[in-house]
């Protein structure tokens, strides 16, 4: 591995404050997390900090009682922050800016929670939220938390089939949505997608509550209820906070599985609150009263953790942004928001900055704005390529922190901790493990790899608070997916290595899940769709590097004999199919016809080798390959289509 020099004048090691916290979190986890739990306003403080559950899992704060919405809102209203801005909605696509104080947000949440109770929703019921980035999405999430309903946010615009699978898995009593979302200048009607999804699903929600937006009003059916009518029907009832055990589920968030069937990641109430509260100070270095902006979507874990929950737990002002980093109206929209709302800490995915750099390579638009309030930029969601990292350091002249975590963990696993003596940063690295996460690099034989040697990135058990305790409705799947490959460890599914200074590098997925502009998508699911085309005899879908999206999917196809359709028509057909079944954000556009696919003698397709060829990375033909000459054919086919080409490594 090549050495990457530090970008900072700071030392390339973490300070004593970090080392002490990290050591205590691993050596005395119960004592460490008991101290962090003291910062939460519990209804009943936990005494049983770390225990073993019935299914053999580690359990945090088993006897504690709390309410997530109370911690996020009521606590601050009662303790001097009632008139502080809690949430600022900034929507350049609708030319709207709206501010909610903590009192106003609490009252809106309590009223909508009352409307949900009026619809029969009780503690433990599931509610699906299929909404764009509007205040009502956050209000709906917090309203569910207030009454103990389990929310499951589905990214607005997800295809009907994907929504149907989530309806059948979570079996919601109520589905909440808006009439449309807005993508640049396009309005996307949600109601037809919802209707199709419910038609496809075996489970039928009792009620669909629809917020009518003026950009596209929905035609209402027998199951549907207008959002404001639901509030009117509840006669102004303001629901109280329902006490919840720390172990009770707060939400389900679906993430792609290697089988194509999404996994419902469960987040509990207690560990989630403690971990996120701790992260705001330790990881992000943020204090109450400051402005924190997570430019993501509530359909993703970043939107859950760092738009809705953590900033409010910490008493910050959070920004809810409806728009894109470009074309809303231009590549300066991020800088405008930072200036207008005096953002102190900003967190987004590298994808947005790559798009901005493409449209404004010399950062001319940045010169129009005063962003002096901004002291730290955090990036995550996909690997930050060194050119983007260096560009951001150069134009901003502030710390740029690449950190790493997953839907499953719910909060950062590794980063340069701004609240605990931050060290120098290295381009391409996510710095150091966060206290509570015993990250290790293991070989296939479960042995720890030496510095510089790549292997499986794993976390030694117990996982800290805030991580998933199970998969919704299928604990065996949780165990099989995460706990079996390396017994005693959580398997992240990523490969990586530590360098000699202890810096962690995450090199990408080792399974068939790819990251397209922050969306985790299963190539296995795409293969099922591609293989269903009548012209396709066999196929493999791999994720290849893309300068704008991070990764994009590419299909390699073997066609059936006697097919009269042109390759271009088949390619367009497949693009349309994947768009319909998964969504436009899958960015599936590349299909290449080949004569055969590289396989082992046992018939396993060598997807990782093909990905390395496409990404111009060195590769070693595995000893079990059926015919090494196939790799030469694949190289030639990719080069012919403008992709890849590198000599193999001996």
User: What's the pLDDT tens digit per position in 365-375?
Assistant: 999 999 999 99
Say whether pLDDT at 599 is over 70: yes
- pLDDT (tens digit per residue) in 242-268: 999 999 999 999 987 655 578 999 999
pLDDT at 600: 66
Q: Are 89 and 134 in contact (CB under 8 A)?
A: yes
Cis peptide before 462 (omega within 30 of 0): yes
Higher pLDDT, 62 or 159: 62
Say whether pLDDT at 175 is over 80: yes
- pLDDT (tens digit per residue) in 86-98: 999 999 999 999 9
Length of the chain (residues): 650
pLDDT at 9: 44
Q: Of all residues in the chain, what percent carry a pLDDT higher than 90? A: 69
Band (2; pLDDT cuts 50, 70, 90): very low
Higher pLDDT, 594 or 247: 247
Domains of the chain: 99-242 (3.40.50.980), 513-640 (3.30.300.30)
Handedness of CA 311, 435, 37, 263 (dihedral sign): positive
Place of tokens 């360098």: 499
Element (H, E) at 573: helix 567-581
pLDDT at 116: 98
How far is Cα 334 from Cα 344, in angstroms, rounded to an integer? 13
pLDDT at 371: 98
Say whether pLDDT at 629 is over 90: no
- pLDDT (tens digit per residue) in 376-431: 999 998 778 788 898 999 999 999 999 999 999 999 999 999 999 899 999 889 99
Cis peptide before 64 (omega within 30 of 0): no
Structure tokens, 631: 């790799």
Q: Full-prediction pTM beyond 0.75?
A: yes
Say whether pLDDT at 604 is over 90: no
Q: Of all residues in the chain, what percent carry a pLDDT higher than 70? A: 95
How far is Cα 566 from Cα 558, in angstroms, rounded to an integer? 13
Burial string for 392-424 (b: 16+ CB within 10 Å, else e) reads bbebbeebbbbbbbbbbbbbbbbbbbbbbbbbb
Output DSSP code: residue 72: I
How far is Cα 479 from Cα 493, in angstroms, rounded to an integer? 14
Burial of 19 (0-12, 13-18, 19+ CB in 10 A): middle
- Give the number of other Cβ atoms within 10 Å of residue 313's Cβ: 27
């Amino acid at each position: 591995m090549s050495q990457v020099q530090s970008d900072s004048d700071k030392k390339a090691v973490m300070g004593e404050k970090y080392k002490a916290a990290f050591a205590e979190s691993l050596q005395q986890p119960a004592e460490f997390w008991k101290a962090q739990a003291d910062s939460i306003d519990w209804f009943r403080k936990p005494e049983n900090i770390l225990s073993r559950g019935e299914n053999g899992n580690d359990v945090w704060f088993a006897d504690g009682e709390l309410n997530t919405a109370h911690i996020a809102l009521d606590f601050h209203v009662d303790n001097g922050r009632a008139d502080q801005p809690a949430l600022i909605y900034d929507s350049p696509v609708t030319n709207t800016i709206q501010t909610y104080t903590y009192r106003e947000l609490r009252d809106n949440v309590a009223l909508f929670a009352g409307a949900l109770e009026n619809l029969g929703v009780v503690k433990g019921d599931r509610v699906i939220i299929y909404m764009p980035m509007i205040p009502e999405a956050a209000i709906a999430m917090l309203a569910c938390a207030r009454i103990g309903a389990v929310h499951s946010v589905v990214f607005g615009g997800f295809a009907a089939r994907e929504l149907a699978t989530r309806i059948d898995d979570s079996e919601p009593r109520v589905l909440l949505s808006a009439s449309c979302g807005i993508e640049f200048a396009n309005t996307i009607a949600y109601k037809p997608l919802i209707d199709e999804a419910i038609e496809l699903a075996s489970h039928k929600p009792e009620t669909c509550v629809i917020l009518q937006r003026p950009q596209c009003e929905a035609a209402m059916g027998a199951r549907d209820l207008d959002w404001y009518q639901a509030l009117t029907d509840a006669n102004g009832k303001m629901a109280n906070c329902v006490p919840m055990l720390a172990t009770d589920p707060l939400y389900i968030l679906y993430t792609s599985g290697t089988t194509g069937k999404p996994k419902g990641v469960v987040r509990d109430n207690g560990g989630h609150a403690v971990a996120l509260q701790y992260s705001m100070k330790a990881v992000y270095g943020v204090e109450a009263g400051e402005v924190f902006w997570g430019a993501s979507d509530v359909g993703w874990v970043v939107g859950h953790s760092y738009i809705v929950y953590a900033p409010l737990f910490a008493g910050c002002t959070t920004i809810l942004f409806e728009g894109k980093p470009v074309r809303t109206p231009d590549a300066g929209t991020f800088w405008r928001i930072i200036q207008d709302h005096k953002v102190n800490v900003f967190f987004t995915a590298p994808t947005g900055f790559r798009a901005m750099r493409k449209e404004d390579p010399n950062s001319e638009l940045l010169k129009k704005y005063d962003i002096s309030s901004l002291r730290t930029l955090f990036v995550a969601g996909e690997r930050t390529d060194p050119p983007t990292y260096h560009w951001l350091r150069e134009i901003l002249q502030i710390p740029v922190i690449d950190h790493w975590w997953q839907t499953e963990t719910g909060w950062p696993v590794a980063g340069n901790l701004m609240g605990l003596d931050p060290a120098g940063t290295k381009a391409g690295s996510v710095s150091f493990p966060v206290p509570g996460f015993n990250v290790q690099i293991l070989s296939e034989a479960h042995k720890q790899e030496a510095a510089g040697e790549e292997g499986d990135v794993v976390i030694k058990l117990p996982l800290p608070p805030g991580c998933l305790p199970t998969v919704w409705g299928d604990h065996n799947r949780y165990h099989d997916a995460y706990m079996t490959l390396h017994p005693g460890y959580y398997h992240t599914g990523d490969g990586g290595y530590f360098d000699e200074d202890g810096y962690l590098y995450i090199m990408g997925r080792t399974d068939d899940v790819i990251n397209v502009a922050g969306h985790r998508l299963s190539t296995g699911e795409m293969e099922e769709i591609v293989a269903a085309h009548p012209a396709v005899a066999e196929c493999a879908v791999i994720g290849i590097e893309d300068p704008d999206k991070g990764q994009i999917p590419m299909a390699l196809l073997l066609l059936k004999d006697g097919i009269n359709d042109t390759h271009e028509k088949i390619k367009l057909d497949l693009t349309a199919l994947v768009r319909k079944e998964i969504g436009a954000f899958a960015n599936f556009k590349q299909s290449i016809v080949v004569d055969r696919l590289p396989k082992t003698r046992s018939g396993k397709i060598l997807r990782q080798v093909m990905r390395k060829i496409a990404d111009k990375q060195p590769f070693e033909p595995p000893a079990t390959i059926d015919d090494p000459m196939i790799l030469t054919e694949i190289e030639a086919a990719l080069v012919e289509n403008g992709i890849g080409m590198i000599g193999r490594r001996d």
